[in-house]
Amino acid sequence: MARITLPRLSKFQLAVHIGALLPLFLLIFDWTRDNLTFNPIQALELRTGKYALVLLILSLACTPINTVFGFRQVLKVRRPLGLYAFFYASIHFLIFIGLDYQFDLGLLQEAIFEKRYAFVGFAAGLILLALAFTSTRGWMKRLGRTWMKLHKFVYLAGILVIIHYVWLVKSDIRTPLLYGALVLLLLALRIPSLRHKASQIKHLRFIRRMQGSFTNLWQKFQASLFTNSMQSGD
Ligand code: HEM
């Protein structure tokens, strides 16, 4: 009988998976308790959209975090974070077509092609779909160098989502602009000269000291977990 082997995850990877799934559980919890404001469909749309955007930005931030702080573990969570962003974007889209528009194809077509925010959101969703579909090792091998080029489109998806967000907000656009500034900063850090400068930061004495304290804290935390589980007989 074929055995399913689960990948071995580090504690950091596990924490990222739990952190990425937590909003889903909170959403289901609030839904079952009727705790989704007086307009639950809109609340579901807004929350899933926000989760997708935050996870997308976190996945974009992985490479710069490694460049600046030399924290290599973060590279292992880049792909899962991107897939979680796609996952929440899919729920977001399903809520839009199913709950908001009751799968009415005529109305949906009208909304997507006539509401500019829906159109750019849809374009971003299609990019995320293509990236999620080709994110496996098999596709990486099959596409070779094209894979790298294709996956740079994640930045375009990020920019489209920001435009989507700016166009939906009717009055105060400070929050979407703040997210936009983050996406632009992460994009700027891909420019070789800036990336080189950023990579020097990890050699600063202050950053090294911070890395040392963080590693110490993390080791102490892990040791305390181990002692607690030994004491409780787990
Ligand atoms: C697939 C096509 C998409 C459609 C039709 C769509 C539609 C919507 C709708 C109807 C809203 C709520 C508007 C309101 O009631 O105020 C919304 C909000 C939002 N969407 Fe989308 N969306 C799409 C794709 C995406 C994608 C791919 C992302 C992110 C990866 C995203 C991120 C957001 C964000 C951040 C918000 C605002 C959340 C907030 O204000 O807190 N959307 N979208």
Domain boundaries, the chain: 11-211
User: For position 232, what pLDDT does the model report?
Assistant: 47
Instruction: Tell me the CA–centroid distance for residue 165 and ligand 1, in Å.
Output: 7
164 lines ligand 1 (CB under 6 A): yes
82 lines ligand 1 (CB under 6 A): no
User: For position 228, what pLDDT does the model report?
Assistant: 57
164, 165, 170, 177, best to mutate for ligand 1 pocket (most atoms within 8 Å of CB): 164
∠ CA 4-9-14, nearest 5°, is 115
45 lines ligand 1 (CB under 6 A): yes
Which atom of ligand 1 is nearest the CA belonging to 112?
5
Which atom of ligand 1 is nearest the CA belonging to 176?
35
84 lines ligand 1 (CB under 6 A): no
Per residue of the chain (234 residues), give pLDDT as tens. 567 777 789 989 999 999 999 999 999 999 999 999 999 999 999 999 999 999 999 999 999 999 988 889 999 999 999 999 999 999 999 999 999 999 999 999 999 999 999 999 999 999 999 999 999 999 999 999 999 999 999 999 999 999 999 999 988 999 999 999 999 999 999 999 999 988 888 777 777 788 778 878 877 877 776 665 555 444
